[in-house]
Structure 1
Amino acid sequence: MSKVIFITGATKGFGRIWAEAFLKRGDRVVATGRNAEALQDLKKSYGDLVLPIQLDVNDRNASFEAVSKAKEHFGRIDVLINNAGYGLFGAVEETSEEEARNQMETNFFGVLWLSQAVLPIMREQKSGHIIQVSSFLGLVTLPVLGLYNASKFAVEGLSETLASEVKGFGINVSLVEPNGYTTDWSGESAFQTQSIEAYNPVKAGFSEAVSTPGIFGKPEATASVILKLVDNPNPPLRLLLGSFAYPTVKKVYEERLESFSDWKSVSDEAHGE
Structure 2
Amino acid sequence: MQKTILITGASKGFGRVWTEAFLEQGYQVAASARNVERLNDLKDKFGHAIFPIQLDVTNRTQSFEVVKDVKDHFGSIDVLINNAGLTMFGAIEEFSEEEAKAQFETNFFGLLNVTQAVLPIMREQKNGHIIQVSSILGLVTLPVLGLYNATKFAVEGLSETLASEVAGFGINISIVEPNGYETDIWAGTSAKKQIEAYNPVKKAFQESASPDSYGKIEATKEAMLNLVESSKPPLRLLLGKVGLPFVKQVYEQRMAGWTDWKEVSETAHGK
TM over 0.5: yes
SS at match of 1:239: strand
String of CA shifts for 1:70-112, please: whole Å, max 9, x gaps. Answer: 0000000000000000111000000011110000000000110
Equivalent residue runs for 1:141-156 within 5 Å: 141-156=141-156
The one-character-per-residue Cα deviations of 1:182-215 (angstroms, maximum 9, x if unpaired) are 011101xx120121100000000100112x1100
Letter in 2 for 1:270: A
Give the corresponding residue for 1:216. Answer: 214
Paired AA for residue 171 in structure 1: I
* Uncovered stretches (5+) of structure 2, i.e. residues with no partner: none
SS at match of 1:155: helix
Q: How far is 1:266 from its partner?
A: 0.2
- Structure 1 residue runs of 4 or more that deviate by more than 4 Å after TM superposition: none
What residue number does 2:251 align with? Answer: 253
What does residue 239 of structure 2 align with? 241
Map of 1:206 onto structure 2: 205
1:54-203 to structure 2, matched below 5 A, reads 54-187=54-187, 190-193=188-191, 194-203=193-202
Q: Secondary structure at the match of 2:53?
A: strand
In the other structure, the counterpart of 1:272 is 270
What CA RMSD, in Å, does the superposition of the two structures yield over aligned residues? 0.6
Distance 2:114 2:58 in 1: 10
SS of equivalent to 1:84: coil
What are the superposed Cα offsets for residues 113-154 of structure 1, whole Å, 9 maximum, x if unpaired? 110000000001100000000000000000000000000000
TM-score (norm 1): 0.98
Matched letter for residue 30 of structure 1: A
Alpha-carbon distance, 1:37 to partner:
1.2
Which residue in 2 is equivalent to 1:18? 18
Q: Secondary structure at the match of 2:40?
A: helix
SS at match of 1:51: strand
Amino acid in the other structure paired with 1:269:
T
Give the secondary structure class of the aligned counterpart of 1:216.
coil
Residues of 1 paired with 2:23 and 2:211: CA distance? 33
- Corresponding residue of 1:3: 3
Distance 1:170 1:252 in 2: 34
Aligned residue identity for 2:230: N
TM superposition shift of 1:264: 0.4
Instruction: Please tell me the residue identity of whatever aligns with 2:227.
Output: L
- Measure, in 2, the Cα distance between the counterparts of 1:40 and 1:52: 8
Task: Trace 1:27-42 onto structure 2 (pairs within 5 A).
Answer: 27-42=27-42
- State the alpha-carbon separation in 2 of the partners of residues 191 and 237 from structure 1: 31
TM-score of the pair, normalised by structure 2: 0.99
Return the offset for 1:44: 1.1
For these two proteins, the number of residue pairs brought into alignment is: 270
What amino acid is the match of 2:265?
Answer: S
**Cα shift at 1:64:** 0.4
Q: Which amino acid aligns with 1:251?
A: Q
Kindly provide the amino acid, as one letter, of the partner of residue 195 in structure 1.
Q
One-letter amino acid of the structure 1 residue matched with residue 43 of structure 2: K
For the residue of structure 2 that corresponds to 1:80, the secondary structure is strand
**Hey, what's the Cα distance between the residues in 1 that align with 2:179 and 2:36?**
28
Aligned amino acid, residue 50 of structure 2 = V
Gaps of 5+ in 1: none
The share of aligned pairs that are identical, in percent, is 64
Secondary structure of 1:77's match?
A: coil
Secondary structure at the counterpart of residue 130 of structure 1: strand
Aligned mates of 1:27, 1:125 — CA distance in 2: 18
The separation in 2 between residues aligned to 1:191 and 1:108, in whole angstroms, is 18
How many angstroms apart in 2 are the aligned matches of 1:57 and 1:191?
A: 19
